[in-house]
A and B are shown apart, each in its own frame.
Chain A
Amino acid sequence: MPSVVALPEVATVKRREFRSTLPALLFLALFFVVPVISLLLRSVLEPQLGLQNYVELLGSSTYLKVFFNTFMVSAVVTIVSLTIGFPVAWTLAIMPSRWAAIVFAILLLSMWTNLLARTYAWMVLLQRTGLINKMLMGLGVIDKPLALVNNLTGVTIGMTYIMLPFIILPLYGTIRKIDPAILQAAALCGANRWQALTRVLLPLTVPGMAAGALMVFVMSLGYFVTPALLGGTSNMMLAELIAQFVQSLVNWGMGGAAALVLLVVTLTLYAVQLRFVGDESEGGR
């Protein structure tokens, strides 16, 4: 077992690497961890010591609705992203590499463009007098403009667009790793194309899907700009609520409480994600 021999060496390297990251960790602790903790502390200190902010937050139907919205929007965005992302990742994996490179460039370019600019672009496209509605009406498909923005539809479209690369890239990696011979073997064993897809291919891509989906879900939970611009007030998400408490109402106790709830949920999901990604890399080795 060569890995047993290599083990102490790896450990030393790891320790040395860790030491070299100390300045960065210290920086993070000072400028990120301390401020976050001080905000979270306010949630039990303001206006007085106690859990009153949490009681108010979790006891109000309005705020519970915001929690529900946050999870619902994140779930919808994750499902839509998977539905669109899977065929794209699949196509990319079997495309001639020259063409795949072009598609990748388009994907990455969209990620590098300013988020606010992209969101405003969607606003212009989706509004009642926007390009999409005008085109559909011109073609006679609809006779009244569809409500595509300032509601859940707008948020879903805008966020799915932003999240797609985060699902396509891990899925692409997973699919590329699948040996095409496995599909041949499935065919030889008498599986038709549908069976090959559902019984062989899909199960093999589960780790990639899980990793991508969790990443998208977790990122969506804390999203601010896109829901604020493309959503209506009745689908407010948690990040907007926190911004409102902190900036507009200047109620940092409630802001801190809402932030802690979001943090706990996100960290829990992150732990789940780590497990999945861990499993995947174990399997790959």
Chain B
Amino acid sequence: MNTTYASAVFAAALAFSTSAFSAEIVFSSWGGTTQDAQKAAWADKFTTETGTTVLQDGPTDYGKIKAMVEANGVSWDVVDVEGDYAAQAGKNGMLEKLDFTVIDKSKLDSRFVTDYSVGSFYYSFVIGCNVDAVDACPKSWADLFDTKKFPGKRTFYKWSAPGVIEAALLADGVAADKLYPLDLDRAFKKLDTIKGDIIWWSGGAQSQQLIASAEAPFGSVWNGRMTALAETGVNVETSWEQNITAADSLVVPKGAKNKDAAMKFIALATSAQGQADLAAATGYAPTNLDSAALMDPEKAKTLPDQQTASQVNADMNYWAENRDAIGERWYAWQAQ
């Protein structure tokens, strides 16, 4: 009798403690308006539907992920990472395989799906330009690399990632379907021609600040940041010519404590509605092919998935294979 009672208490305590553990997951992203939108479109809804609290953390840091996985103390359950990192980290054993019985991948844009990751949202590197600050806006990558026709400072993404090297090669006349494998010698030679005129942006907010203040009146930027800048009243023009797409991915670090809840969270985040809500808030494109139908047509028109006419896809698999080598060369070139 006593034993039964004790074991019942023990079982109840155990049940309580497990449910207490699983009633919480941690989501890490890049902060700013994008993470706010992810919280509103995904996390709050997930909490309402499942009762599981989603704690927000960040910014995402690949060094931290490595440290957590190696120390077997993973405190992030779902992480928003760059697509090239996701492809590489999956191969290096840093990530859990996603459970596609929970996550429906049949409607997801297959460009952004691997065994270990699904697209979080996708964006395009476009040419943004402050119309009021210049005589003429560059329309193509060749224009952006032409300091005679378009004098002044221009801004590019500081970190080694898909986008800038592709832009340099396209500007140099490489055909969009012949980009890969990237001709790095040629790309850096082209970049050398404008190196003194580049101001690097290291985060989205900085790219907006540079263009709005005309510190660098034009440059290669994430499309959503120009949409947001236009909404604040700055007269910006976006050229979609050969816009270069890259995606963020959602991943689960190896050894995450709440794997099951993490899969459910990703399922909601990549659902047609979850992706539509995020796209409406951020100006980035949904990775779920059914999302466009759920969106305000006026808004949907401004997104990268409607700009496919001259779109160039950054090859995430190529980047995953060569990420380290390109990165070392990139930073060495910058420091010279």
A residues near B, CB below 8 A?
Answer: 60, 62, 65-66, 127-130, 150, 228, 232-234, 236, 241, 244, 246-252
- Whether A129 contacts B332 in the complex (CB less than 8 A), given A150-B199, A247-B62, A250-B62, comes out as no
A121 to B331, CA, bound (A): 27
CB atoms of A246 and B331 under 8 A apart: no
A248 to B61, CA, bound (A): 8
Binary per-residue interface labels of chain B (129-162) against chain A in the complex, 1 for a CB within 8 Å, 0 otherwise: 0000000000000000000000001000011100
CB atoms of B63 and A234 under 8 A apart: no
Q: A232 to chain B: which residues have CB within 8 Å?
A: 199-200
- Most chain-A Cβ atoms within 10 A of its Cβ — which of B328, B335, B336? B335
CB atoms of B199 and A62 under 8 A apart: no
A62 CB contact (under 8 Å) in B62, B160, B215, B332: B332
- Whether A62 contacts B335 in the complex (CB less than 8 A), given A150-B199, A248-B327, comes out as yes
Known: A62-B332, A62-B336, A130-B213. 9 other contacts (CB 8 A): A65-B336, A129-B215, A232-B199, A233-B200, A233-B335, A236-B335, A241-B335, A250-B63, A252-B66
CB atoms of B153 and A128 under 8 A apart: yes
CB atoms of B215 and A248 under 8 A apart: no
Say yes or no for B310: interface residue by CB 8 A criterion.
no
B213 CB contact (under 8 Å) in A62, A127, A249, A251: A127
Q: How far does the Cβ of B222 sit from chain A's closest Cβ, in whole Å?
A: 18
Closest 9 CB pairs of A and B: A233-B334, A62-B332, A247-B63, A246-B63, A236-B335, A127-B215, A129-B213, A249-B327, A250-B62
Say yes or no for B324: interface residue by CB 8 A criterion.
yes
A selection of 15 A-B contacts at a CB cut-off of 8 Å is A62-B331, A62-B335, A65-B336, A127-B213, A127-B215, A129-B214, A150-B200, A228-B202, A234-B335, A241-B335, A247-B62, A249-B324, A249-B328, A249-B331, A250-B63
Q: How far does the Cβ of A72 sit from chain B's closest Cβ, in whole Å?
A: 13
Q: A244 to chain B: which residues have CB within 8 Å?
A: 331
Q: Closest residue to A35 on the B side, CB-wise?
A: B67
A248 CB contact (under 8 Å) in B159, B213, B336: B159
A249 to B331, CA, bound (A): 10
B336 CB contact (under 8 Å) in A234, A246, A247: A234
CB atoms of A251 and B215 under 8 A apart: no
CB atoms of B158 and A233 under 8 A apart: yes
A83 to B146, CA, bound (A): 43
Q: How far does the Cβ of B83 sit from chain A's closest Cβ, in whole Å?
A: 15
Q: B62 to chain A: which residues have CB within 8 Å?
A: 247-248, 250
Q: Closest residue to B61 on the A side, CB-wise?
A: A247
A66 to B334, CA, bound (A): 11
Q: Closest residue to B331 on the A side, CB-wise?
A: A244
Q: B215 to chain A: which residues have CB within 8 Å?
A: 127-129
A193 to B62, CA, bound (A): 61
A228 to B332, CA, bound (A): 16
A130 to B215, CA, bound (A): 9
A150 to B213, CA, bound (A): 15
- Whether A234 contacts B61 in the complex (CB less than 8 A), given A129-B215, A250-B66, comes out as no
CB atoms of B332 and A60 under 8 A apart: yes
Interface residues of B in 153-182 (CB under 8 A from A): 153, 158-160
CB atoms of A65 and B324 under 8 A apart: no
Q: B324 to chain A: which residues have CB within 8 Å?
A: 249, 251
A38 to B285, CA, bound (A): 42
Q: B327 to chain A: which residues have CB within 8 Å?
A: 248-249
- Most chain-A Cβ atoms within 10 A of its Cβ — which of B159, B199, B327, B331? B331
Q: A250 to chain B: which residues have CB within 8 Å?
A: 62-63, 66
Binary per-residue interface labels of chain B (225-261) against chain A in the complex, 1 for a CB within 8 Å, 0 otherwise: 0000000000000000000000000000000000000
Q: Closest residue to B334 on the A side, CB-wise?
A: A233
Q: A236 to chain B: which residues have CB within 8 Å?
A: 334-335
A117 to B317, CA, bound (A): 39
Q: Closest residue to A254 on the B side, CB-wise?
A: B328
Q: How far does the Cβ of A65 sit from chain B's closest Cβ, in whole Å?
A: 6
A276 to B35, CA, bound (A): 50
Q: How far does the Cβ of A60 sit from chain B's closest Cβ, in whole Å?
A: 7
